Amino acid sequence: MLHILGRREDGYHELQTLFQFLDYGDELTFAVRDDGVIQLHTEFESVPHDSNLIVKAAKKLQQQSGTSLGIDIWIDKILPMGGGIGGGSSNAATTLLGLNHLWQLGWDHDRLAALGLTLGADVPVFVRGHAAFAEGVGEKLTPVEPEEPWYVVLVPQVSVSTAEIFSDPLLTRNSSPIKVRPVPKGNSRNDCLPVVARRYPEVRNALNLLGKFTEAKLTGTGSCVFGGFPSKAEADKVSALLTETLTGFVAKGSNVSMLHRKLQSLL
């Protein structure tokens, strides 16, 4: 769900949203350097090296911690770029937590989440690594325990501009705030969906196709579309039918992120 309650004086919007993780994502590899150099070795044509959130996260943590260490970073990019699925924010958070561990800084999650918020509104939830009901611009987090279904995620071959959606005059900006925890059933809508579906026929098509099998939802401002299923077998069956014409994947919902599970295994 993503409800938009109003626009703030700083131009951002007050939101209420529900975050959950997937057991599916990019994979980052780190190697500590002793010369202070931060180098991302995986190149992205559309994102210059120093503009990548991974590099920005590493440099901010290095500067604020005062460490003399550096890092070599590689990424196996699996998640679609510009799909609204949180790949960039997740990678930034993974960098913060990974380097905190490798550089032996000893920062707690509160401090890392505060630094993460300067990189993007969705970074703190990935730093904390637990499913959460979020308010504010997405940074005020209350841990929750929603069901963990299997998801079919469809990836329309279009990149949705978040700024474009949030500046659309037809966007709903006056949803009533939810005051009950957990989020009551029936409050699962995404206020961005009507605007995105009108502007992007590729997304509208994906919503219609997946909607034949389950309630189809938009993740963030899209472009990714998802729907839940009670078993992997059912999700795989629907995915096989839809991915003949659309790109997509099947993943398990998880209330604890894969990053935090990995970190726990290192302790």
Quickly list DSSP for 53-90.
Answer: HHHHHHHHHHHHHT---EEEEEEE--SPTTSSSSHHHH
122 belongs to the catalytic site: yes
70 is in an annotated binding site: no
Burial of 111 (0-12, 13-18, 19+ CB in 10 A): middle
Low-confidence ranges of the chain (pLDDT < 70): 180-184, 186
- Over residues 47-75, the pLDDT tens digits come to 999 999 999 999 999 999 999 999 999 99
In this structure, what token pair is assigned to residue 41? 């070795």
Predicted confidence at residue 8, as pLDDT, reads: 83
Burial of 14 (0-12, 13-18, 19+ CB in 10 A): middle
Alpha-carbon distance of 7 to 96, in angstroms, equals: 30
Predicted confidence at residue 207, as pLDDT, reads: 97
169 is in an annotated binding site: no
Q: Given 10, 34, 122, 191, which residue is catalytic?
A: 122
- Whole-structure pTM value: 0.93
71 is in an annotated binding site: no
Helices and strands per DSSP (H, E), number in the chain: 9, 12
**CA separation, residue 94 to residues 85, 127, 173, 201, 237 (Å):** 15, 7, 32, 33, 32
220 is in an annotated binding site: no
